[in-house]
């Protein structure tokens, strides 16, 4: 072990206080603390809420080192420990009393003219119209045409993201140990003029989702991954699939996904 730990924090008073306390305790325990991301660090500690956690993994391009979250936010679904558990955290980490929970990610590739761009999401990627316009998308799964979707858009969520935007749309909660993607419509149209699925679709990890815009006047699309939005014009096609990039969370003894779901949602 190189005993170097990277600490990332938001700027709220509670997070800054927790960060100062943690850095002092880590230093007294023989660890080298850095506030600048370093690829040779053995651990990233993320202090804040789920938004801060997502900010960190996007800012540092989905780091491969293990990550532990200290919750000073609201829901704290990704965060493992509370600020009053710092001593227990350092002891258990030093003793190796933890497991790694690998979380899968979703990849979206979008072709605009002769250029192709790629985005990765931990929770989800969303495909929407610009300025709240409806989108019309020819949807295929595994290369087979399924439907012409019409509505506000689509969310493609990972199991980890099933409890986020997907859940607010009426999608299913999925155990993160399952390897799949969930496609959930956003305000789909289902009339005599338009037909679209009104419930979620589950895809195994070896199938991809293909989308081709079917809008006569404007093929501008907004792509949102974990809350970060990019707008594109002249969109020709999109492919969404299961990514091989993983985010590894540290989990301590007693962690159980469904117990956490119950404590956060019920």
The reply, when asked if residue 98 is annotated as ligand binding, is no
The reply, when asked if residue 187 is annotated as ligand binding, is yes
From residue 118, give the alpha-carbon distance in Å to each of 106, 153, 230: 11, 19, 11
Residue from 97, 83, 102, 31 nearest 245 by CA: 102
**Phi and psi (nearest 5°) for 44?**
-110, 130
The reply, when asked if residue 51 is annotated as ligand binding, is yes
The reply, when asked if residue 163 is annotated as ligand binding, is yes
The reply, when asked if residue 71 is annotated as ligand binding, is no
The reply, when asked if residue 10 is annotated as ligand binding, is no
The reply, when asked if residue 124 is annotated as ligand binding, is yes
> Is the distance from CB of 192 to CB of 77 less than 8 angstroms?
no
Biggest CA pair distance of the chain: 69
Ramachandran assignment for 30, one of left (phi > 0), alpha (psi -120 to 50 degrees), beta (any other): left
The neighbouring-strand residues paired with 4 are: 32
The reply, when asked if residue 42 is annotated as ligand binding, is no
The reply, when asked if residue 84 is annotated as ligand binding, is no
Name the helix (H) or strand (E) containing 102.
strand 98-112
Catalytic residue set: 50
The reply, when asked if residue 118 is annotated as ligand binding, is no
Q: Where are the alpha helices (DSSP H) in the chain?
A: 13-28, 50-59, 86-95, 165-168, 257-265
Give the residue ranges of the annotated binding site: 50-51, 123-124, 152, 160, 163-168, 187
Give the residue ranges of the annotated binding site for NAD(+): 50-51, 123-124, 152, 160, 163-168, 187
């Amino acid at each position: 072990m190189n005993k170097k730990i990277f600490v990332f924090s938001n700027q709220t008073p509670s997070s800054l206080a927790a960060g100062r306390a943690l850095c002092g305790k880590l230093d007294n325990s023989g660890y080298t603390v850095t506030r600048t991301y370093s690829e040779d660090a053995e651990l990233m500690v993320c202090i804040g809420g789920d938004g801060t956690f997502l900010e960190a993994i996007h800012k540092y391009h989905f780091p491969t080192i293990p990550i532990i979250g200290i919750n000073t936010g609201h829901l704290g679904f990704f965060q493992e420990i509370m600020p009053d558990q710092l001593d227990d955290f350092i002891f258990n980490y030093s003793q190796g009393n933890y497991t790694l929970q690998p979380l899968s990610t979703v990849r979206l590739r979008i072709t605009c003219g002769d250029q192709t761009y790629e985005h990765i999401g931990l929770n989800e990627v969303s495909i929407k119209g610009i300025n709240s316009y409806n989108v019309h998308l020819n949807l295929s799964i595994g290369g087979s045409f399924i439907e012409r979707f019409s509505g506000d858009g689509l969310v493609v969520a990972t199991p980890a993201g099933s409890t986020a935007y997907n859940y607010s749309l009426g999608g299913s909660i999925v155990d993160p140990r399952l390897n799949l993607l969930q496609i959930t419509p956003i305000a789909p149209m289902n009339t005599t003029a338009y037909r679209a699925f009104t419930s979620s679709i589950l895809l195994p990890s070896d199938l991809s989702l293909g989308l081709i815009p079917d809008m006569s006047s404007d093929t501008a699309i907004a792509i949102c991954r974990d809350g970060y939005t990019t707008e594109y014009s002249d969109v020709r096609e999109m492919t969404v699939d299961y990514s091989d990039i993983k985010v590894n969370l540290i989990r301590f003894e007693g962690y159980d996904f469904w117990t956490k779901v119950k404590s956060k949602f019920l």
